[in-house]
Amino acid sequence: MLASTPEFYCFLVLVFLAFWLLRRFRMACLLLVCAANLFFYAKWGLIYLILIPCAATSDFFIGRAIAGTQKRIARRLLLACSLAINIGLIISGRSGGLVLPLSLSFYAFQALTYPIDIYREDAAPSPSYIQYFASVSFFPTALAGPITRVSSLIPQWNWKGAALRSEEGSRALFLIGLGLAKKFLIADYLGNNLVNRVFDLPTLYSGGDVLVAVYAYAFQLYYDFSGYSDIAIGAGLLLGIRLPANFNAPYRAANIADFWRRWHISFSNWLRDYLYFSLPGPRTRFMPYVNLILTMALGGLWHGLSWTFLIWGLLHGIGLATFRIWQVATKNRASRRTIPVAGPLLTFHFVLLTWIFFRAANVNTALKILSQIATFRFSFDNTRPAFLIVLALGAAAHFIPKTWYEGTLANFTRTPALVQSAALTLLLVTIQRVAANGAAPFIYSRF
């Protein structure tokens, strides 16, 4: 059940209506969400009706056991059990005899925040299993996040039966509509009309077409992934749950560290809080930089056990380490020495280079793409004007001031419900005409 299909929105509407009809009965609402979560996973395969409850139940009792003992060895053994369970879920979807139709990596990353936070004494165990299960398996985050700390979701179920405020409902609809527009009108259009063909067979295209496709892929990936995040956050709001923001205009980043504060924010925060800070402390002054490179390399391999993802992670790790060394060498005056335009421009093109390895099927294909660009034969026979218009509009929309976006959102929430409905209807009609062949799966749903 993809978040780009009518089936998902029929499901979401039914859950929404039932949830708010039962709002005065907190336990009934929680049970409804748990059932909705299981139904969502079951649509991908009945095996999830075993895997998800078993993993969640284990983590729930492991969390309580960690909180109930002060013995260091026992706490570490319990945490190791949770790590083994959740890492096993990630591996099960990627290799071996068991091939799952839906990767459980986003579930596992989210689930691991619970026992680790309890182990570090940053959170207390959930007061009830139902509250915990509703949080850890929350269906809007199942496919591609945002990766949310379970301890931040659990308290949000403690409402007093209040109805959904109209502003929150309007905001949710705006985000869902925006996510669909990003996915269908920009990401899928760019992918279907040049990007996919070039990355599949780069030697058939001129250096100019390949270069345009590389730029276009950067925006295809951004609009595809941020579009899903918008839909997930909007779906959560419809059920009274606030999920964390996942993107903040990443291609406007002043440097590579700033990029990772803006791109896939929940994932970069997870890597920092639960991986980087867990690595051995500095034995030499270079150890923090080694740990940084190792963290990003493992983050790359999380996307897939291939050389391309490893290279992508290593490049970002080396970039981050180099920037940190530069900051130390300049005594944290690095940002002041960066020309305002040069910093974002250099950062964007470094990220652009790494995206080639991220998207290419293998290293050989990535090198062919770079070789085609290096020929400097910049003809654009396969780049259509309509494609360039969509790419230009996507780039321009990414760089609009944040105040414009916030103003548009505020104006939408203040308009009458009839006008909001008309706007969403017009969007759906436009999507139907533009995306006549249907939607491609969200890119990050395979990770």
Active site residues: 303
Residue 102 · residue 49 · CB < 8 Å: no
**Which residues does 391 contact at the CB level (< 8 Å), separation at least 6?**
190, 212, 215, 216, 219
**CA atoms lying within 13 Å on the CB side of residue 5:** 8
User: Residue 344's closest CA among 447, 272, 254?
Assistant: 254
Residue 213 · residue 205 · CB < 8 Å: yes
**Exposure letters 103-121 (e unless 16+ CB within 10 A, then b):** bbbbbbbbbbbbbbbbbee
Q: Which amino acid is at 373?
A: I
Task: Count the neighbouring beta carbons within 10 Å of the beta carbon of residue 336.
Answer: 7
Question: Cα(410)–Cα(232) distance, rounded to whole angstroms?
Answer: 20
Reported as type and span, the H/E element at residue 345 is helix 342-359
Question: Cα(241)–Cα(394) distance, rounded to whole angstroms?
Answer: 29
Q: Given the structure tokens 């070789």, which residue do they identify?
A: 371
**Which residues does 174 contact at the CB level (< 8 Å), separation at least 6?**
234, 409, 412, 413
Q: How far is CA 48 from the centre of its chain?
A: 21
Q: Which amino acid is at 396?
A: A
Output the six-digit token pair for 214.
Answer: 């590389």
